[in-house]
Amino acid sequence: MARPQIVSDAEILIAARRVIGRRGYDQFTLSEVADEVGLSRGAIILRFKSTQALKAKLASHMIASFISYLRALPVLRSGDGLIHFAAAIGALVRQESLASFMVVFRGNLQDPDLAKLERERAAVYHEAIAARMPRSALPRDAAATLFQAVLGGAIMQWEVQSGVGASDFLVARAKDWLTLARIDFSKDYTASLESRELDETTIAPMASARAAKRPAVKQRRPR
């Protein structure tokens, strides 16, 4: 039975996000979203017109939220900054399904406005990594592209891991990449990230505290 109180658009979008997380893009239905919030399917259609329109609205909302999340993170141009960034992405992934994280809704990208927003998301993501990339053997943009590919692959790997936290998994892959790239990082900072369950509310304060301190003793570069 439909709930008597008013359900906001934000509540419907949150419910749609959960449904896509459980069912995936192709199996997503308005009926399941309606059940999630206690409304009729007709009430959802009156608000969003169609399944595709709701997906488009959700895609726009998620992409904008992801951009805001990235821009709120402190910027540390160092190996530690990249490790923190990997942990921050892991914290977000842990709260989203892989299907919905860094979402690209295939059909919706035919919409010029959504396609533009998705391009902005991709550019902001790349720029966020480049801003944290210290000097290396490669130009900064090229190094950022490789690190971005490592994180993308790690997210897909994490989906099939059992009993491994997303932040821990992405931090471990970041450490591997930094070691191969001969970029220094601090063992104590990495250990502090790996020793606690991270989420969106703990990541930013930890990074801010780290930025306020002097750089820790660095790991020796491999010979």
- Say how far apart CA 36 and CA 14 lie, in whole Å: 10
pLDDT of 58 reads 83
- Report the CATH fold assignment for 1-49: Arc Repressor Mutant, subunit A (1.10.10)
Phi, psi of 13 (to 5 degrees): -65, -40
Residue 112 to residue 120: CA distance in whole angstroms = 12
How many residues are present in the chain? Answer: 223
Element (H, E) at 94: helix 79-95
pTM: 0.75
Query: For the chain, which ranges sit under pLDDT 70?
Result: 1-5, 25-26, 95-110, 162, 189-223
pLDDT for res 209: 46
pLDDT tens string 179-189: 999 999 987 76
Does domain 60-212 fall under CATH 2.70.98.60? My reply is no
Q: What does the pLDDT look like over 103-156, one tens digit per residue?
A: 545 555 667 777 787 788 889 999 999 999 999 999 999 999 999 999 989 988
**Residue partners of 198: CB distance under 8 A and separation at least 6:** 87, 90, 91, 94, 165, 167, 206
- E strand intervals along 39-133: none
Q: Where are the domains of the chain?
A: 1-49, 60-212
Q: Which two tokens stand for residue 16?
A: 């749609």
* Residue the block writes with tokens 């490789």: 146
